[in-house]
């Protein structure tokens, strides 16, 4: 009987830790806009920078009952791009794209890419994401994205792109 109670107690404790651990995991979404300018050249890479994006990480962490010093890992879960202007446009003009993040004095690193954009691409493009731990970047006050693009068509008008980044955050349980 004592063994059964002990076993049940251990199961309750460990399942409770799993539940607590799940409470310290959450997502942070960031939305940015970038313009790919009209051009007359193709097959040449060119860079486009997003405006600096404030992370408001401290307030995001507070809303999720944690602090910067308790963050164990932040990973980019998804990066989706959507053509918002011109209406009806798609990503078929892209041959390849890479996205880099930089923040403060940290080195720039590649976080997402699509090395072979389909000729049949739609107006929304989901990029492959890296497994890099980005906690040092997102814990900063702001970060910048750089899009390295290669086009395979001449753009006759500017293309406004909405960039949505979803970061997965894992914090320590009760500071342990």
What residue ranges do the domains of the chain occupy? 26-171
Contact at 8 Å (CB) between 103 and 144? yes
Q: DSSP characters for 84-107? A: EESTT--STTEEEEEEEEE-TTSP
82 burial via Cβ count (<10 Å: 0-12, 13-18, 19+): middle
Contact 143, 103 (CB under 8 A): yes
Which CATH fold would you assign to the domain 26-171? Jelly Rolls (2.60.120)
Task: Confirm whether pTM is higher than 0.85.
Answer: no
Q: Render each residue's pLDDT in the chain as its tens digit; 176 residues.
A: 555 455 445 455 555 444 555 557 999 999 999 998 887 567 778 888 888 898 888 888 888 888 999 999 999 999 999 999 999 999 999 999 999 999 999 999 999 999 999 999 999 999 999 999 999 999 999 999 999 999 888 888 999 999 999 999 999 865 54
CB atoms within 10 A of CB 50: 19
What local confidence, expressed as pLDDT, does residue 174 receive?
55
- Closest to 116 (Cα-Cα) out of 83, 90, 152: 152
Residues 6+ apart with CB under 8 A from 134: 74, 75, 76, 101, 111, 167
Residue 129: predicted pLDDT:
98
């Amino acid at each position: 009987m004592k063994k059964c109670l002990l076993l049940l107690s251990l199961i309750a404790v460990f399942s409770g830790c799993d539940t607590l651990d799940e409470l310290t995991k959450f997502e942070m979404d960031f939305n940015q806009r970038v313009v790919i300018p009209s051009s007359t050249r193709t097959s040449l890479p060119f860079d486009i920078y997003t405006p600096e994006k404030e992370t408001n990480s401290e307030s995001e962490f507070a809303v999720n009952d944690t602090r910067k010093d308790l963050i164990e890992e932040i990973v980019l879960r998804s990066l989706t791009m959507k053509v918002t202007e011109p209406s009806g446009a798609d990503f078929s003009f892209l041959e390849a794209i890479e996205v880099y993040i930089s923040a403060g004095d940290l080195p720039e690193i590649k976080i997402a890419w699509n090395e072979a954009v389909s000729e049949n691409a739609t107006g929304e493009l989901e990029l492959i994401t890296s497994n890099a731990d980005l906690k040092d970047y997102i814990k900063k006050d702001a970060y910048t994205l750089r899009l390295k693009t290669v086009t395979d068509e001449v753009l006759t008008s500017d293309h406004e792109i909405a960039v949505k980044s979803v970061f997965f955050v894992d914090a320590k349980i009760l500071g342990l």
